[in-house]
A = this chain, B = another copy of it.
């Protein structure tokens, strides 16, 4: 990774560490530890952590440090509820504003999603998550409302905490999401292509709900 802006480097590195399960809920992310392992001073690390706290990805205890928030079924319901409605809004707005290029971009992602190699491996899972992020945040971008985009990005990432969290404990079984998602992504893209705002909203909301249900059917 480029080390031009150390703060940005620290920010991305920390997110990467979190997504790669280097920490578990409740763990403290120590400034000194991180600055050691990333080989830079505390200053940029500290700024990156502060940013993650401000964005709601980490919690903080004064004079104690930043830590991974503990997931709970109730918190999961809250974040998926927010995400469902906000992504419903962004999908509807995207249906209003989407250009031909936007539609092509989305279909391109769906093609990529279909052709992920070695399905079932950890590698494939990472590829899948990356594409999924591009798809959802892509729609948020298309809707041309930076506030909705911001909230969408936030709730998306927050909900992914759960996807990664449960993935660790249920890592044995392949989440069905990898099979239902492409089909739903096509539905959503079609609705956006047809500029059908209501339909786009409905299928997107259904899609998010599906993700939630597949994750939490066991609770």
Residues of B within 8 A of A29 (CB): none
Residues of B within 8 A of A79 (CB): 147
Q: In residues 49-87 of chain A, which contact B (Cβ within 8 Å)?
A: 50-51, 54-56, 62, 75, 78-79, 81-83, 85-86
Cβ-based interface call for A158 (8 A)? yes
Contacts A47-B50, A50-B47, A50-B50 known; A82 to B5 CB distance under 8 Å?
Answer: no
Q: Is B62's CB under 8 angstroms from A5's CB?
A: yes
Contacts of A62 in B (CB 8 A): 5
* Chain A 138-180 interface residues, beta-carbon cutoff 8 Å to B: 144-148, 150-151, 154-155, 158
Contact at A82–B148, with CB atoms within 8 Å? yes
Minimum CB–CB distance from A45 to chain B (whole Å) comes to: 13
CA distance A86 to B81 in the complex (A): 12
Chain copies in complex:
2
* Nearest CB of B to A75, in Å: 8
> For the complex, what is the distance from the CA of A83 to the CA of B47, rounded to whole Å?
29
Q: Are A151 and B82 in contact (CB under 8 A)?
A: yes
- A192 part of interface (Cβ distance < 8 Å): no
Task: Assess whether A89 is interfacial by the CB under 8 Å rule.
Answer: yes
The distance from the CB of A103 to the nearest CB of chain B, in whole angstroms, is: 22
| Chain A 74-111 interface residues, beta-carbon cutoff 8 Å to B | 75, 78-79, 81-83, 85-86, 89
Chain B residues with Cβ below 8 Å from A148 are: 78, 81-82
A202 to chain B, nearest CB (A): 15
Of A150, A151, A158, chain B has the most CB atoms within 10 Å of the CB of A151
Residue of B nearest to A51 (CB): B54
- What chain B residues lie within 8 Å of A56 (beta carbons)? 147, 150
Q: A56-B147, A82-B151 are in contact. List 18 more A-B contacts (CB 8 A).
A: A5-B62, A47-B50, A50-B54, A51-B51, A54-B54, A75-B146, A78-B144, A78-B147, A79-B147, A81-B148, A82-B89, A82-B147, A82-B148, A85-B85, A85-B89, A86-B151, A147-B158, A151-B154
In order of increasing CB-CB distance, the 9 nearest A-B pairs are A54-B54, A82-B147, A78-B145, A151-B151, A51-B54, A82-B148, A79-B147, A85-B89, A78-B147
